[in-house]
Amino acid sequence: MAFILTVLTLTFSIFITPFLLFFLVIVFLASIGKSLGVRRKYVDCLVKIFEYSREITLKRQRGVDKNEVESESEGEDEIVAEGERGRQRSNKDDNVVCNQTKNGFAVGASLISREDLILVPDPVQNYVGNNNLEVSREKSLDRKSSYDLLVKREFDLSDCLYLVKTGVEAIIEDQVTSRFEAEELKSWNLMTRTNHNHEFISWRLTFIWLFGFAMRYFFLLPLRILICFFGVMWLTLCTALVGYMPDSAFKRWLNRRVNIMCFGVLSSALSAVINYHNLENRPKRGICVANHTSPIDVLVLMCDNCYSLIGQSHGGFLGMLQRALARASPHIWFERSEVKDREAVAKRLKHHVSDPNNPPILIFPEGTCINNTSVMQFKKGSFEVGGVIYPVAIKYDVRFGDAFWNSSRYSMVQYLYMMMSSWAIVCDVWYLPPMYQEPDENAIDFANRVKRVIAKQGGLVDLMWDGQLKRMKPKKEWKEKQQEEFSKRFKIE
């Protein structure tokens, strides 16, 4: 026991000084908004490694397919067999290309091909608008006409088959459930949790995986935990000092610099590489709304700008961060009993927005985390306040680490462990031009218009489903609306 304590003490004394110097360098670079570019070079190296492993995997698959075809075609005509092998190789390459996006990973293949009717909460949107199934408008209109033949005629038992077919399609694969699961990768990123088959491919790939495992768990993970710990302590100390200053323009300027610096340090705990676009549209006041994938969305945005936050008061680690931030700048934290009191929350929100000295307030209107493949229904509350809305689109590159937080499966500690043991967090942030509510536009239409702009810029699917379906059953009135719409198509004696 004494020997172990001696070894630990010696190890601590050797590494503590280099680490403190390393941490001071991170703080200094974050305070001046500069970077040495190490994380970007690290990510570029990972891209080359992923591409190399993908080539090895494809060669292995092609070799297996070739052997299978040769064994099955034994005794057949050689020309026919060769044509079959060539066609299979061509189809496999085509599938690999088709299932990849511009970022190099699959968005998630659909199990079925939908036609005709697609039911959504608003019957008007049953065919066009919010289904986003990559079907051309001309084709969808042609298929729609077959269902429209039901208009104003006598009821026949076969008329309900369209609804039965749609219901079976929803049972096989609906538009909501898949949005709360991790995004599927087409090519393996050398992490065990993204390859459940654990199939041996080659010794070279096995060696790369072993080296990556040791790198992530025995070097990056301990280093990131230390950076996170000291980063949180640094944030608490700096915001406490800012909080003691009298309210003035200098305090607001200092608070902005301190927030950007502290969150820049915390981003190092995730090896975050963030690309900001259209900086001229960076929010200055009013309300900033963004799609929501993860709790680290706040960190991603706060590395480039200072925001006020709105949300429910928490305990534990999140509660400590909330209290630290509240010391230096105005935030809106409400208790669980106030969550349903929309009027009280809206009043506090309006008061915050009306003060030009307050920083822009950051809101995630979806109200829950979505897996970064789509944008779901925006709650109308933040769009009823009035004033300017700054849309922001966030898109993560899942090859390096899936930032989606499945809160029903993982606790916050488990989620942070998964993030810190990933390769890195890489994402793009687009600041979009400010938007205003039109005179004849209600809050719901305004929210949908903003959501549509964010989805288009981020390459996300625009869905009108409520993200709270993650926790609750569909509303009864949705079914009643569809029944009413269906009944209008028949003659009533």
- Bridge-based pairing of strands 361-363 and 332-334 is unpaired
Given a cut of 70, whether residue 194 has pLDDT beyond it is: no
Residue 198 binned pLDDT confidence (cut-offs 50, 70, 90) = low
Higher pLDDT, 411 or 312: 411
What's the pLDDT score for residue 360?
A: 92
Mean per-residue pLDDT, 62-79: 57
- Three-state secondary-structure class, residue 493: coil
Residue 205 binned pLDDT confidence (cut-offs 50, 70, 90) = confident
Q: Establish if 325 belongs to a structural domain.
A: yes
Look up residue 154 and give its DSSP letter.
-
Given a cut of 90, whether residue 23 has pLDDT beyond it is: no
Q: Establish if 399 belongs to a structural domain.
A: yes
H-helix segments, 244-330: 249-268, 296-302, 316-328
Q: Any idea what the CATH number is for the domain that residue 396 is in? A: 3.40.1130
Boundaries of domain holding 454: 201-469
Residue 471 binned pLDDT confidence (cut-offs 50, 70, 90) = confident
Q: Give exposure, 29-57, as e/b (b: 16+ Cβ within 10 Å).
A: bbeeeeeeeebeeebeebeeebeebbeeb
Q: Establish if 245 belongs to a structural domain.
A: yes
Residue 126 binned pLDDT confidence (cut-offs 50, 70, 90) = low
Higher pLDDT, 420 or 160: 420
Given a cut of 80, whether residue 482 has pLDDT beyond it is: no
Range of lowest pLDDT (175-189, 212-226, 261-275): 175-189
What amino acid occupies position 198? H
Residue 128 binned pLDDT confidence (cut-offs 50, 70, 90) = very low
Residue 197 binned pLDDT confidence (cut-offs 50, 70, 90) = low
What's the pLDDT score for residue 372?
A: 86
**DSSP assignment string, 85-132:** HHHHHHHHHHHHHHT--TTSS-----SS---S----SSGGGSSSSS--
Look up residue 158 and give its DSSP letter.
G
Range of lowest pLDDT (56-60, 61-65, 290-294, 325-329): 61-65
Mean per-residue pLDDT, 193-208: 73
Given a cut of 50, whether residue 59 has pLDDT beyond it is: yes
What's the pLDDT score for residue 73?
A: 56
Higher pLDDT, 234 or 22: 234
- Bridge-based pairing of strands 272-277 and 374-375 is unpaired
Range of lowest pLDDT (40-44, 76-80, 98-102): 98-102
What's the pLDDT score for residue 10?
A: 73
Mean per-residue pLDDT, 98-124: 51
What's the pLDDT score for residue 135?
A: 41
Mean per-residue pLDDT, 293-322: 84
What's the pLDDT score for residue 110?
A: 57
Q: How far apart are CA 467 and CA 421, in angstroms?
A: 28
pLDDT tens for 129-170 read 444 444 433 443 344 444 444 455 566 666 677 777 777 777
Given a cut of 70, whether residue 427 has pLDDT beyond it is: yes
pLDDT tens for 346-366 read 888 888 888 888 899 999 998
What's the pLDDT score for residue 8?
A: 65
- Which CA distances in Å does 271 have to 190, 266, 268, 365? 17, 9, 5, 27
Helix (H) or strand (E) holding 361: strand 361-363
Given a cut of 50, whether residue 231 has pLDDT beyond it is: yes
What's the pLDDT score for residue 87?
A: 45
Q: Establish if 15 belongs to a structural domain.
A: no
Q: Establish if 149 belongs to a structural domain.
A: no
Given a cut of 70, whether residue 409 has pLDDT beyond it is: yes
What's the pLDDT score for residue 279?
A: 93
Given a cut of 90, whether residue 6 has pLDDT beyond it is: no
Q: Establish if 411 belongs to a structural domain.
A: yes
Average pLDDT, the chain: 77
Given a cut of 80, whether residue 214 has pLDDT beyond it is: yes
Q: How far apart are CA 82 and CA 65, in angstroms?
A: 13
Q: Establish if 247 belongs to a structural domain.
A: yes
Most confident of 8-17, 142-151, 294-303, 470-479: 294-303
Number of domains in the chain: 1
Given a cut of 70, whether residue 253 has pLDDT beyond it is: yes
Q: Establish if 436 belongs to a structural domain.
A: yes
Residue 446 binned pLDDT confidence (cut-offs 50, 70, 90) = very high
Mean per-residue pLDDT, 76-93: 48
